[in-house]
Amino acid sequence: MQPSDFRDDLDPYLLISFNRADAARSSRESNEDLTGHGSVTLLPFTIRVYDPMWQSKQIPDLVESSRLGTIITCRGSRASVVALLQDPVVHSVEASRPIGPQARECSASLPFVKATNVHAPPLSEKGNNVIVAVIDNGIDVLHKAFQDGNTGKTRILFVWDQTDTSGTAPHPAMGYGTLYTSAQINSFISGTPFPANSQLTPYHAGTDDGAHGTHVTSIAAGQQTGNGATDFFGGVAPEAKIVVVIPNMKVSAGKPESVGYSNSHLDALRFIENVASKEKLPVVVNVSQGMNAGAHDGTSALEIGFDEFTNGGLKSGRAVVKSAGNERGYRGHAKLTVAPNTTEEFVWRSKHVGRSEDLIELWFQACDESEFRLIDPKGQSCNWVTRANTSELHTYGTGNKAAIVFQRYCDDNGDSRLTVRVFPGSSINGIEPGEWHLEVQSKAVISGGRIDAWVERLNARAVEFQGTPVDDDRTVSIPGTARTVITAAAVGSIAPHKVASFSSYGPSRDGRHKPTLAAPGIGIRAAKNGTAAGADAMSGTSMSAPHVAGAIALLFSHRESQRAADPNVKQLNAAQIEKAIAHMTQNFNGNWTPSMGYGVLDIEKFINTFG
């Protein structure tokens, strides 16, 4: 359908995709609006871009509403669409229903997952006996969603900003970043200025920094801020205590964030454990950030670290929830099934986007033998990497450098791993745009011959696999593939259930059932940073995960009340919770699917399972 096909009676629920061929066809009509009637009436649509730092100022008539990484909601005219389709940083443009009465928000998603039933008598559970910990990019500590509705005091116990060098670190063993206490946050609420060099300041100043973390935290544990159209309806566990860790993942500009992910997140878990132990309260950790590098089988140090937090799922009062990821459609995973003595290839397209390296990992069974060489877009090749020649550093005529390393019997899991890193070198164009070919020449194939490949993402999405090996399965991001982490896919807040187009599919590489379940993640309207009490809409599995984390928080808190009445009652652990939350879904039938796991979250059934 072309932009000119928009009509006044267009169903606002209908999503219409555009492609770049539309741009040339519609350029002569670019002064008309999207309805095709000549007056400039702005209609809502969604943009997906490769670079989250992309600026929209050069696009005519475009008015942004909100951003979630590379997803932007906005309003614009036909001229906006034509200009967007001609912009190489824009991945796609979709018509969208307007933000208004039809928009899905927590006022719709909470009743949909039966949270409001649990808030009401006879349970009347709102999470006052639990900690919700969030590892995310920031939080607006002044937003009323995070305050006690009666006292106006913060419900945030601590914010550890690992990126902030202005203050005191939380502990000598974690000697970096700045720790903000509830007392300090209450002083900020009372009007005390933020420290001059504090990195907290942007999180309440209306910038994009912290928007994601503010939104996510409010879904899990936000208080209702009012009944007006622009207010926040409230989250799943609105009386929970809150801990936030802002991770420092950026080692340097252009580096894949996975380089800094493990240390920042494992340190965060250690800090959260210290707080929960001191407070003598159960804690559920929400993680809505992930990575692609790794075997996706639960065996990396990062995944094992997450499992250690729950003691392999056995430690009572500890659970971790991870978003499944928004990787579907980004062409970041590919697979080959090779026969003996054949030649196949992985092909990826490099875009003209500045970055310091590309990182691709291949994983396969160590009993299989294959050899590899990388051919650049100019047709130049490096030497073969084999079991005998396990590493190759090659400089191409463009100045690009490739470092290819093969490890048989990798120490994570005993499988084989091939790591391909491409660097700009002296090339004036950076990493050469065009098609790179990784040739695979199989020798002996003892197993099924499957080879999985993942691109470690930069926010700019500068690399996409091409051709038939592209595969949306096994796209759940790490550490959602850890063994004891509960992983959430995204669906809408209405039946019949429909999985979001972006939601990553399972299983894990070793066949385990990830994602665990699904929860609302489309157009969720929750707390907006930089506003006293306002809200805005975002979509993503990042919005699904805090619905699940909030559900677990309600169960932990309810269990604490039971324990207070009967000392023989034991707090629950992650192993028990993972099975129960999967079995008590709205549409559970005993079968697991790669898209929504065992079904859609039902908080009332989940909590009533334990009395």
Mean pLDDT of 457-470: 86
pLDDT at 44 (0 to 100): 65
> In this predicted model, which residue has the larger pLDDT, 324 or 9?
324
Q: Helical H runs in 167-286?
A: 182-189, 211-221, 258-279
* Residue 101 token pair: 């009465």
* pLDDT at residue 35, rounded to an integer: 34
Residue range 543-552, pLDDT digits in tens: 999 999 999 9
Parts of the chain belonging to CATH 2.60.120.1290: 333-466
Lowest mean pLDDT among 66-70, 389-393, 410-414: 66-70
Q: Where are the beta strands (DSSP E) in 408-470?
A: 416-423, 434-442, 450-455, 463-466
- Residue 91 pLDDT > 60, yes or no? yes
What is the DSSP secondary structure assignment for residue 443, as one 8-state letter?
A: -
Higher pLDDT, 273 or 425: 273
Q: Using an 8 Å Cβ cutoff, are 159 and 168 in contact?
A: no
**β pairing state of 63-68 and 71-76:** antiparallel
Report the pLDDT value the prediction gives residue 172, as an integer from 0 to 100: 74
Between 34-48, 167-181, 596-610, the lowest mean confidence (pLDDT) is in 34-48
Enter the CATH code of domain 333-466. Answer: 2.60.120.1290
Q: Which of 43-52, 552-561, 580-589 has the lowest mean pLDDT?
A: 43-52
Q: Quick one: pLDDT at residue 3?
A: 31
pLDDT exceeds 50 at position 15: no
For residue range 487-496, what is the model confidence (pLDDT) as tens digits?
A: 999 999 988 9
Render pLDDT for 188-215 as a digit per residue (tens, 0 to 9): 999 999 988 787 877 765 555 678 999 9
Query: Looking at residues 499-521, what average pLDDT do you find?
Result: 97
Whether pLDDT at 606 is above 80? yes
Q: What average pLDDT score do residues 60-77 get?
A: 73
Cα 586 to chain centroid, rounded: 24
pLDDT-derived band of residue 5, with 50, 70 and 90 as boundaries?
Answer: very low
Residue 66 confidence (pLDDT): 60
Q: What is the mean pLDDT of residues 321-344?
A: 96
Query: HSE-up of 141 (CA within 13 Å, CB side)?
Result: 34
Residues 352-407 have pLDDT tens digits of 888 888 999 999 999 999 999 999 999 999 999 999 999 999 999 989 999 999 99
Q: What is the pLDDT of residue 171?
A: 81
Q: Alpha-carbon distance 318 to 574, whole Å?
A: 6
Query: What pLDDT is stored for residue 85 in this prediction?
Result: 81
Closest CA to 458 of 565, 375, 558, 351: 351
For 492-538, where are the E strands, in sequence order? 517-520, 524-527, 535-538
- When pLDDT is cut at 50, 70 and 90, the band that residue 107 belongs to is confident
Q: How far apart are CA 436 and CA 456, in angstroms?
A: 16
Which residues are CB-neighbours of 222 under 8 A, at least 6 positions away?
Answer: 106, 145, 146, 232, 234, 235, 238, 526, 527
Q: In the prediction, which pLDDT does 108 show?
A: 86
pLDDT-based confidence at residue 94 (cuts at 50, 70, 90): low
In the chain, CATH 3.40.50.200 sits at 106-328+478-608
Q: In this model, does residue 586 exceed pLDDT 70?
A: yes
pLDDT in tens, 419-451: 999 999 765 668 999 999 999 999 999 999 999
Q: Identify the bridge partners of residue 181 per DSSP, sorted by sequence position.
A: 158
| CATH of range 106-328+478-608; options 2.60.40.1260, 3.40.50.200, 3.40.50.2300, 3.40.50.150 | 3.40.50.200
Cβ-proximal residues to 11 (8 Å cutoff; 6+ apart), any chain = none
**Is the pLDDT assigned to residue 31 strictly greater than 50?**
no
Give SS3 for 118.
helix
Residue whose pair of structure tokens reads 């089988």 in the numeric block: 297
Measured at the CA of 108, the angle between CA 544 and CA 217, to 5 degrees, comes to 40
Flag the least confident range among 2-6, 73-77, 272-276, 496-500. Answer: 2-6
Q: How far apart are CA 611 and CA 598, in angstroms?
A: 22
Secondary structure of 568-589 in HEC code, one letter for each residue: CCCCCEHHHHHHHHHHCCCCCC
Work out the number of other CB atoms within 10 angstroms of the CB of residue 607.
25
Q: Across 154-158, 252-256, 522-526, 536-540, which has the greatest mean pLDDT? A: 154-158
Round to whole Å and give the CA distance between 23 and 39.
19
pLDDT at site 204: 62
Residue 198: its pLDDT value, please?
Answer: 81
pLDDT at residue 257, as a whole number? 47
pLDDT at 457 over 80: no
